[in-house]
Amino acid sequence: MDRSLLGVVLIKVEMMSTSALKRSVTFLFLLALVAGPVLVFFSPANAASHNGYQTSRKNSGTPNSSQVVRDAKGNVVSYGNNSITYTAPSTALIQLGHALYLQNCATCHGVEANGVTADGTAGAYPNLVGVGPATVDFWIESGRMPAADPRNVQAARHVSRLNHQQALAVAAWVNSLAPGFPLIPTPHLNNANVSDGAALFALNCAACHTIEGSGDALAANTYAPSLRNIPAYQVVEAIRTGPGNMPRFTGNLSDKQVNDVVKYVTTEIQHPNNPGGLGLGGLGPVAEGFIGLAIGVGILALLGYWVGERD
Amino acid sequence: MSEDLSRTPVSLSSVREDDPHLQPAAKNPIVVERIIALNFIAAMLSLAGFLWAYVVNAQAWKLGATFGGGLFFLGVGLVAWGKYLMPRGPFVEERHVLSSTQAERDSFADAIVNRGGGVIKRRKFLGGLLGGSVALVGAASVWPLLRSLGPMPKGTLFHTDWRRGTYAVDQSGRRIHTSDLAVGSIVTVFPEGKQDSERGQAVDQTVLIRISNQDYTTQKGREGWGPKGYVAYSKLCTHLGCPVGLYEQQLQLLVCPCHQSMFDVTNGAIPNFGPAPRPLPQLPLMIDSLGYIRAQSDYHEPVGPGFWERA
Amino acid sequence: MSDVVSSKLTKGKTFGAYGRVGQAINELDERLGVAKGGRTFLDKVFPDHWSFMLGEIALYSFVVLLATGVFLTFYYIPSSAIITYHGSYLPLDGQHVTQAYASSVDLSFNVRAGLLMRQMHHWSCDIFTGAIVVHMARVFFTGAFRKPRESNWIVGNLLLILAIANGFLGYSLPDDLVSGTGIRIAFSIAESIPLVGTYAAFFVFGGNFPGASTIPRFYILHVLIIPLIILGLVGAHLFLLVRQKHTQFPGPGRTENNVVGSPMFPVFMAKTAGFLFLVAGVVGLLGAFAQINPIWQFGPYDAAKISYAVQPDWYMGFLDGALRIWPSWSFHSFGHTIPLEITIPSVVLPGIIFTLAFAWPALESKFTGDKAMHHLLDRPSMRPKRTAAGAAVLAFLFTLFIASSTDVIANFGHLSLNSVLWAMRVLTFVVPLVTYPVTYYLAKEMQRAPGSGKRKTTNVVTRTVAGEYVAAPAPAYSEDVHEELEPKVVPTYIEVADPSVSGAVTVRR
């Protein structure tokens, strides 16, 4: 996408003259129709998955953590702290994982998992080498991969096609190509502070997922999904790996902070108390307005029809 | 064709005691009376239930159901009584002409114009002075009330608290280091020391995004503003001031949750969709010798929505 | 003994034919002269068509607002001072919140019936504004705003504006994340006014956003100043209604010079008091079963935080929708900026709509040349142009209201947010332009069809023993007011005598 053209036209949008207005309105309209799906596939930031997980901050999802356990060959087997423990999938699963990968993933991601160009777009079926086990496990166990329809702008959550063991196996095999981070997380919710989690959620998550965790539509057919039916470890995986358009939270959130957020999500978001009655879908004033008008004024108008006369 | 005389309205002052207009509308007044009695009994039981629920501190919905239900039954009973058991009518009342006679209007006008006008005509000069004094009383009552309401804006809207060398800190006051964020991460930052102040949160709020591993220039003339791929923009939307916290890392868009303005992060945060008129101001960054992210200077333009004095 | 007592009390007066009530009336009348006006007042006749109940919904939901509001004022603390929350809702424990927010959360969790009162107050507000709009539509479509009721129309429009304003101020008081975003937007709108915007914003809010005085000033406006004005205007509204008497639909026995319906005492009082309890009851049941504005889930307001899907309450929705769909046209030159992308949707557009509303009686009277008094209402189909214009404006406002939910629509419909917005931009023009002619022709059609809109008599289908089916109209119910229309001879000459004497229209053939 030619960004300088974008820039030239858009500066004109600000200082408006009539003819430039017509041109830029027409251009913006076509841009909206065309650029949305195109930008998704042409986006250069798909390269993010190649950069691996980076932060030097301690206790933020990397082996730069309190307790690191290595195997005989020196590979990291697990690390973590009393907030979250990250574990590598067992190397015994690698062979099973390779077989499952060839069955379910190779047609799109390539036999060597380094991505397939489709119509010249490098990012269409991403390179999985070095992404880390948590990324692979998240996409598989949330049912988004294998993709039901690769043409969709954003893959939707489904019941997973592979069970937990199989997903770990695929993750083990991909990780064996080039080790990456973070590993598979296990949050220790008993040590979490739900109030800190609430404050962090409001600052970092509510802007996309809404403060009640209902999810909402984002630009160009992307969306932030609802947080209602997600197990705790998948929430950690999503936060640490930043799937799709979701930003990655690496060094800016410590494991303790992530654990707090997960506790908040799995308690208040997924099981709200709702002492006031029906939750009305957690959509806020939109739902309340419809209920107030349709049911409140509606029922009262019907009652008025009874109280008054007909003619 | 026979006219149903019972539907012809009669006047209340002239109706006889045996007139069918005074009869209840219900065909079976006894049955209706029993139904109304049941409603009143239900209302009493429900409201007594409310009092009991209040004493035992029952849940909110029980309090509401008994209170609302009691009122509702009471209303049904009372309306039914008025509609079915009371004189069915219809009754008629004549409209008396609202307006007075021309003579009365003339005498009213005469009092105002001749008596009042005469006074002013004789003392025109005094009348003018009286008018002036009353006007000043009005000004004296209103002006201090309004002027004391708040401070003059002066230059408040033109600057933030970012200065040369100010450290970027997150909401807990922790300084951001270059190794903290991965590509595709976002964190809300404030000038060091201002993260807890009202002004810090309201005006200085800034989003720090890592869009690359290399130095990034978002616009011509902004070379060196994006060291190591870290770019910072004001979080205040240029439309109406909502925090632009919604970041899509693949589309490279900052979307404002209020009215869905979309800012291109790689191109100086120029809005390519939605009602925002201007790009988000960019904060020039630098990295010090220890690797901490600091501001080069304040923003080069006022942050936030437009106002008259903004050039 | 009793004779002594009774003679001491009455001093020779007897209770007379009407007992103690008569005695009380005697005493009052001697001092205040209430008897004559009292009888007239009790005899007052109220037309009681069901559509006249809509205004009563508004009136009684206002009563509920006052009653629940008084309860809330005893517990809410209008202060922006920051405290550390240590109440009963654990996810907030230890957070720095304003006292306004903390007191609202405490009111919801720790005060008995507090949550119920808060919810009833909020539901009642949504119903209040909704009922005003529906009532205003009824008045508009039936032409009840015509002479002599133009002043009542003005009063009603003022009430609508004040109700909307007070609702916004009210739901901003708890200072939660969702309503606080609305306050930020209000500050920016004030700031955007050309020439005086920054001064207006700084003065009203007591400084740059968030402002030291925002919550306390909103509070006093919301509980004292605006409700007093509303009470005064409601009083004027009802006074005008009582003095000019209510309008009525044309029908048997109804003329421009009388009112047909039920008498104030006892029928109307019973029905209207019953309706008050019905309104309060429905509001109570909504407050019990439907959660509204769960501020504890939203968390306290923080200027750097925001949630998605933050629409305002429904009556502000048309403004939010207009702000979303309006293009980003900003005007700046000569060292100044006029943010048209703010000013036009949030100031100019409602300004035009409300000015049109205020001016409508004068405009209609000018265009139709109708300067007569009207106490009989129009059926909406009888005035197709007015009905179509009103329907088009309502459709326009409704489209703007829908436009404030673009993100929710895109989410539920699995559509692109960008295309939903463009669709709304197009619909804002197309919907009113289509509504006008459709409504116009529907109204014309209804005029042409005889007996349309009236209740029809049923046909009873009987099967005879021989197997034949016979359909015959059922006998008309005696309560059915509508009579079968019969051709009448049209008079060739109508003489109008002195109009100040009622019923003095003579018809000659």
Residue boundaries of the structural domains of chain B: 10-85, 102-147, 160-295
Q: Hey, is the C-beta of B246 within 8 angstroms of any chain A C-beta?
A: yes
Q: Write the class of the CATH domain C46-249+264-326.
A: mainly alpha
Which residues in chain C touch residue A309, judged by CB atoms under 8 angstroms apart?
A: 48-50, 261
Interface test with A, best of B177, B246, B266 (most A CBs within 10 A): B246
Q: How far apart are CA C98 and CA C83, in angstroms?
A: 6
- All residues of chain A having their beta carbon less than 8 Å from the beta carbon of residue C249 are 311
Q: C297, A212: Cβ pair inside 8 Å? A: yes
Contact C291, A278 (CB under 8 A): yes
Residues 48-67, chain A: which have Cβ within 8 Å of C? none
**pLDDT band at residue C6, thresholds of 50, 70 and 90?**
very low
Q: Does A34 touch chain C (CB under 8 A)?
A: no
* C481 touches B at CB < 8 Å: yes
Q: How far apart are CA C420 and CA C413, in angstroms?
A: 10
CA distance B277 to B261: 9
Angstrom distance (rounded) from CA B283 to CA B189: 11
CA distances from C439 to B9, C135, C383, C387, C453 (A): 35, 19, 11, 7, 15
Location of structure tokens 């006007």: B135
d(CA B138, CA A63): 73
Partner residue opposite A245 with nearest CB, options B60, B180, B251: B251
pLDDT of residue A225: 94
CA angle B48, B54, B55 (to 5 degrees): 95
d(CA C262, CA A157): 62
The token duo for C396 is 């326009």
Interface of B with A in 134-153 (CB under 8 A): none
**Interatomic CA distance for residues A262 and A197, integer angstroms:** 7
DSSP A200-261: HHHHHTHHHH-TTS--EE-GGG-EEPP-TT--HHHHHHHHHH--TTSPP-STTS-HHHHHHH
Give me the tens of pLDDT residue by residue for chain B, a chain 311 residues long. Answer: 334 566 778 888 777 888 888 888 888 889 999 999 999 999 999 999 999 999 998 888 999 999 999 999 999 999 999 999 988 878 888 888 888 899 999 999 998 888 887 777 778 888 889 999 999 999 999 988 888 888 888 888 999 999 999 999 999 999 999 989 999 999 999 999 999 888 889 999 999 999 988 999 999 999 999 999 999 999 999 999 999 999 999 999 999 999 999 999 999 999 999 999 999 999 999 999 999 999 999 999 999 999 999 87
DSSP-derived letter for residue B236 is B
Contact A292 C130 (CB under 8 A): yes
Cβ pair A280:C328 closer than 8 A: no
> Where are chain C's structural domains?
46-249+264-326
Residues in chain C with CB shorter than 8 Å from the CB of B4 are 478
Cα–Cα distance measured from residue B263 to residue B231, given in angstroms and rounded to the nearest whole number: 13
Q: Do C293 and A209 touch (CB under 8 A)?
A: no
Per-residue pLDDT of chain A (311 residues; tens, 9 = 90+): 334 444 444 444 444 445 777 787 777 877 777 665 555 444 333 333 445 677 888 888 888 888 899 988 888 899 999 999 999 999 999 999 999 999 999 888 888 888 876 565 545 688 888 899 999 999 999 999 888 887 788 888 989 999 999 999 999 999 999 889 899 999 999 999 999 999 999 999 999 999 999 999 999 889 999 999 899 999 999 999 999 999 999 989 999 999 999 999 999 999 988 898 888 877 888 889 999 999 999 999 999 999 988 76
Query: If you measure CA to CA, which chain A residue comes closest to C401?
Result: A286
A positions 215-254 inside 8 Å of C (CB)? 215-221, 223-224
Q: Which residues of A touch B183 (CB under 8 A)?
A: 45, 47-48, 51, 248
Polymer length in residues for chain C: 509
CB pairs under 8 A between B and C: 309
Q: Which residue of C has its CA nearest to B62?
A: C288
Per-position DSSP letters for C316-381, written without gaps between them: GHHHHHHHHHS----EEETTEEE-HHHHIIIIIHHHHHHHHHHHHHHHHHHHH---S---BPPPGG
Residues of chain B contacting residue A55, judged by C-beta atoms under 8 Å apart:
179-182
CA–CA dist A278, A291 (Å, integer): 11
* B68 to C266: CB separation less than 8 angstroms, yes or no: no
Q: Compute CA distances B262 → A2, A246, B300, C330, whole Å.
A: 17, 16, 21, 16
Nearest Cβ partner for C297 among A29, A211, A304: A211
Q: Phi/psi at A241 (nearest 5 deg)?
A: -100, -15
> Which listed CATH number (3.40.50.12160, 2.60.40.10, 3.90.1640.10, 2.102.10.10) goes with B160-295?
2.102.10.10
Out of C54, C119, C414, the one facing A304 most closely (by C-beta) is: C54
Q: Identify the pLDDT of residue A231.
A: 95
pLDDT tens column, B252-289: 999 999 999 999 999 999 999 999 999 999 999 999 99
**Whether A285 contacts chain C with CB within 8 A:** yes
Are C291 and A309 an interchain contact pair (Cβ–Cβ within 8 Å)? no
Cβ distance of A219 and B257 shorter than 8 Å:
no
